[in-house]
Amino acid sequence: MPFFYTFDIYYFILIIPALLFGLWAQSQVSTNFQKYSKIGTMRGMTGAQAAEYILNQNGIYDVEVRHIAGNLTDNFNPKNKTINLSDSVYNSTSIAAVGVAAHEAGHAVQHAVGYKPIKIREMIIPVTQIGSWLYLPIILVGFIFSSQYLVNLGIILFSTLAVFQLATLPVEFNASDRAITTLANSGILYGEEINGAKKVLKAAALTYVAALVSSLAQLLRLVLLFGGRRRD
């Protein structure tokens, strides 16, 4: 079978379905966030206030809650100890905003209590960055010069991306679980508001699953294309 024909076959069989799953996951995030960003909470607490409340409840006073530009650009930065909330979250009193803010506060709590999976993920990051830069050049050089050693090295480097994304899943799911538990127990959200926040955070979690599926599909494609190939 010609090389480029094989390339196309694996691309259509593996990569396109993974991309479609990723697009679907993104659409779920957009749909659920837009829906619940239009519904205010009974308590009327903003995203920023919810994040600060959760931090204080967990005895965390060295993390600053900041406003940043953008849409769904929310994040927790452990380096400068900031929770950064986007335009649609920081001052909003919607169910979606409070859920997202609580999720980011959940990451701050993870760092404060020494949650092991987040430590493992941070240890992997440098290797992952190197792998993402070098895997393709190394594979191509190995293929051109018939060096299966270099090809395998490139594939291994790429696999670190999948390992990183696999390690990310428990971190993200745990942050969401912490958020929902705190929101319910503290009375920040009531009744059906909790279900709305769950839907928003579940949709967001799907994007991390999609990222893992995409990396695994690409890894399998690389193995099928280059792993164990022999050139005469």
Catalytic-residue membership of 52: no
* Closest CA relative to residue 51, chosen from 195, 175, 191: 175
Question: What sign does the CA torsion over 126, 81, 87, 37 have?
Answer: positive
Active-site residue among 52, 104, 172, 193? 104
Phi-psi group of 146: left, alpha or beta (phi > 0 → left; psi -120 to 50 → alpha; rest → beta): left
Pairing of strands 64-67, 82-85: parallel
The strand pairing partners of 66, in sequence order, are 84
Token pair recorded at residue 60: 């965390």
Give Cα separations from 30 to 25, 58, 71, 143 (angstroms).
9, 30, 10, 41
Residues annotated as catalytic (active site), given as ranges:
104
